[in-house]
Amino acid sequence: MPLTPFHLGYPLIAGLVARSWFSIPAAMMGSVILDLEPLFRILSGMETSHGQFHSFALAAVVGLVLGIIVWLLRKRLDSATKLFGVKQKTTAKSAFTGALFGTFSHVTLDILMHSPESGFRAFWPFSDATFFEQWAPFWMHAVSAVVLLVAVALYVIVVARENKQ
Ligand SMILES: [Zn+2]
């Protein structure tokens, strides 16, 4: 997605609703980390903005590596989420499913958003199929904006509930 923050609503909802399954920091980092690729490619003047990292194959690899990092940093991340008013104990399961949910949700959302000219190939190296439609970016942004608002509202409710005496 050209505007990366639109990816953040989905992992935040997943993490708040199913906390034992999805580490919130893992899922949120996973949902935006793949956009380092277009940033790097644009800054280094490459011909297309998207490459292999925007595929399910490399999203799986990135998700696994991120899962390991989150697992290693779990104590620090648990205290960081606590600072944001949410209590969550990161387990190996939530680190990996969270990170993989993040990276896979990123590629899934991008499928309708990016034209073949941008280099986006979700099914690389198995297929060059693309599913870009002219109408899609507007609606994907609209839906993702609503999801982000719902996620923020849910976060406020959860924090208010958990932190009242
Ligand atoms: Zn992207």
Domain ranges in the chain are 4-162
Contact between 140 and 1 under an 8 Å Cβ cutoff? The reply is: yes
Distance 40 CA to ligand 1 centre (A): 12
Distance 123 CA to ligand 1 centre (A): 14
* Mean predicted confidence (pLDDT) in 128-133: 90
For 115: left if phi > 0, alpha if psi spans -120 to 50, otherwise beta; the answer is: beta
Nearest to 31 by CA among 55, 72, 63, 79: 63
Which uninterrupted H or E stretch holds 102? helix 92-110
CA distance 128 to 130: 6
Contact between 114 and 3 under an 8 Å Cβ cutoff? The reply is: no
The lowest-confidence range among 47-56, 145-154, 156-165 is 156-165
| Cα torsion angle, 132, 5, 15, 151, sign | negative
Tell me the percentage of the chain whose pLDDT exceeds 70.
98
Calculate the average pLDDT of the chain. 94
Answer yes or no: is pLDDT of 82 > 80. Answer: yes
What pLDDT score does 2 carry? 56
Distance 47 CA to ligand 1 centre (A): 16
* Mean predicted confidence (pLDDT) in 13-36: 97
CA distance 107 to 79: 29
CA distance 144 to 160: 24
What pLDDT score does 165 carry? 59
Query: What are 31-80's pLDDT values in tens digits?
Result: 999 999 999 999 999 999 999 999 999 999 999 999 999 999 999 999 99
* Mean predicted confidence (pLDDT) in 7-24: 97
Distance 153 CA to ligand 1 centre (A): 25
Which uninterrupted H or E stretch holds 82? helix 74-83
Query: Whats the size of the chain, residue-wise?
Result: 165
4 pLDDT band, cuts 50/70/90, is confident
Distance 161 CA to ligand 1 centre (A): 34
